[in-house]
Structure 1
Amino acid sequence: MSALPDRYDVVIRGKPEGPFSLDELRGMNLLPTDFVKPAGQPEFKELREIAELSNLLNIPYQTTRPQYFATLDMRLLATAMDYFIAFCIYAVLAAIYLGGTSNAKESVPTLLIGLVIVPCTKFILCVATEGSKKQASIGKMLIGVKVTDEQGRPIGYGKALGRNLAKLVGIATLGIGFFTGFFDRRQQCLHDKIAGTLVIKDRLI
């Protein structure tokens, strides 16, 4: 069992207060639905959602399905950031290639063909990062959203691969598959429905 943090913040009458020690939490008669977070962490959760802490405070552990979903504009921004990062990697490789050639003009076709590196790099980075403990590509991390399964759990590398491969369906439908999220309560695009994933954001207090 991992070590629990020593101090916690608690939302009291709508305002974050603390930090409090574990002993202080025991004397506060907290409810399962009270919002708590380790001091210094960004996101509050209901006490019943934090397994080890709820057990110590004699509160039944209960998972809560995701309730706050990333909007399509947030997702598009994250995608743009991911492509920019992939393009920067391509630019570095192109600069190295040009540095080793004597005829820049003859290198233009090779550089144009090499642009395929950009979507491939973006694909690899998304699978590697969304399947990791971070649960988010670099772009998603920067704007504070992450990818989960429909119960809010990490998706792992297998489901991350399936999710990103399913984006080909959105491309095949000329983008319609991506914009179906506008009409979905959970903002699920077609590739999310195929893979059984969600893109969620931190709850607001």
Structure 2
Amino acid sequence: MNPSDRYEVVVQGKPQGPFSLDELRAMKLRPTDFVKPVGHPEFKELREIETLSKALNIAHQSTQPQYFASMDMRLLSTAIDYFFAFCGYAVLAAIYLGGTANTPTRIPTLLMGLALVPIFKFVACVILEGSRKQASFGKILIGVKVTDEQGKPIGYGKAATRNLAKLVGVITLGIGFLSGFFDRRQQCLHDKIAGTLVIKDRLI
């Protein structure tokens, strides 16, 4: 944490600030007051932000995720991810068409090349969900991210496990995905296998 950082605080239900660290000290905030560094996407309880709570002499206390992405949000993010993956394939297809003569094999080759779309999506999801972003392109655009069951980043290994486990949903003819509708935390089968959650920003 940089002493020059600025913070916003929810006061009487409304975000106020930005405030400096010294100004926060003077405000005598409670552990349950909502705070966020300027530029961050969501407010958190002060006690949840380890470095800031320590600077303000407040006991740090992690909180389990409470706000989960609904299935329609997850479906939308998946559709966006496939769109970006298809765009990547379209670029390669254009390069291929520009470099080949008009032969009978062009159309079959392009059709077989469509198999690259889910591969592109898989690679992008593993890289992005395992990164500090914690979210694929689609999840970033709709404001959700992937965490472990304690709300922490999952890393590349767990991201790979999560996305490989989606094959179980395909093998079960979609039942593995639909199971998320009946789960309190909206966990699909691949999330349960990998020990992950898809969470959204707090409603504040």
Normalising by structure 1, we get a TM-score of: 0.97
Provide the rounded CA distance (Å) in 2 between the counterparts of 1:62 and 1:148: 18
Deviates more, 1:117-126 or 1:95-104: 95-104
Give the 5 Å matches for 1:18-57: 18-57=17-56
Provide the rounded CA distance (Å) in 2 between the counterparts of 1:139 and 1:196: 21
Counterpart position of 1:69: 68
Counterpart position of 1:141: 140
Q: Judge conservation of contact 1:5–1:38 (CA < 8 Å) in 2.
A: no
Note the C-alpha offset of 1:104.
5.0
Provide the rounded CA distance (Å) in 1 between the counterparts of 2:174 and 2:35: 40
Counterpart position of 2:177: 178
Paired AA for residue 17 in structure 1: Q
Provide the rounded CA distance (Å) in 1 between the counterparts of 2:184 and 2:122: 27
Counterpart position of 1:59: 58
Identify unmatched segments of 5+ residues in structure 2. none
Provide the rounded CA distance (Å) in 2 between the counterparts of 1:152 and 1:4: 26
Q: Percent identity?
A: 75
Deviation per CA, 1:176-205: give whole Å up to 9, x if none: 100111100100000000100000001011
Deviation per CA, 1:37-80: give whole Å up to 9, x if none: 11232210100011111011110001111000000100000000
Note the C-alpha offset of 1:27.
1.4
Provide the rounded CA distance (Å) in 1 between the counterparts of 2:151 and 2:115: 33
Give SS of 1:96's match. Answer: helix
Provide the rounded CA distance (Å) in 2 between the counterparts of 1:148 and 1:37: 19
Provide the rounded CA distance (Å) in 2 between the counterparts of 1:183 and 1:87: 31
Deviates more, 1:143-152 or 1:8-17: 8-17
Identify unmatched segments of 5+ residues in structure 1. none
Give SS of 2:114's match. Answer: helix
Note the C-alpha offset of 1:4.
4.7
Give SS of 2:62's match. Answer: coil
Paired AA for residue 124 in structure 1: V
Q: Judge conservation of contact 1:131–1:158 (CA < 8 Å) in 2.
A: yes
Is 1:188 aligned to residue 187 of structure 2?
yes
Give SS of 1:31's match. Answer: coil
Counterpart position of 1:83: 82
Give SS of 1:177's match. Answer: helix
Note the C-alpha offset of 1:102.
1.3
Provide the rounded CA distance (Å) in 2 between the counterparts of 1:139 and 1:4: 34
Aligned-residue RMSD, C-alpha: 1.1
Deviation per CA, 1:70-111: give whole Å up to 9, x if none: 001000000000000010111110111011111154301111
Give SS of 1:58's match. Answer: coil
Q: Judge conservation of contact 1:98–1:104 (CA < 8 Å) in 2.
A: no
Provide the rounded CA distance (Å) in 2 between the counterparts of 1:53 and 1:134: 21
Counterpart position of 2:156: 157
Paired AA for residue 168 in structure 2: V
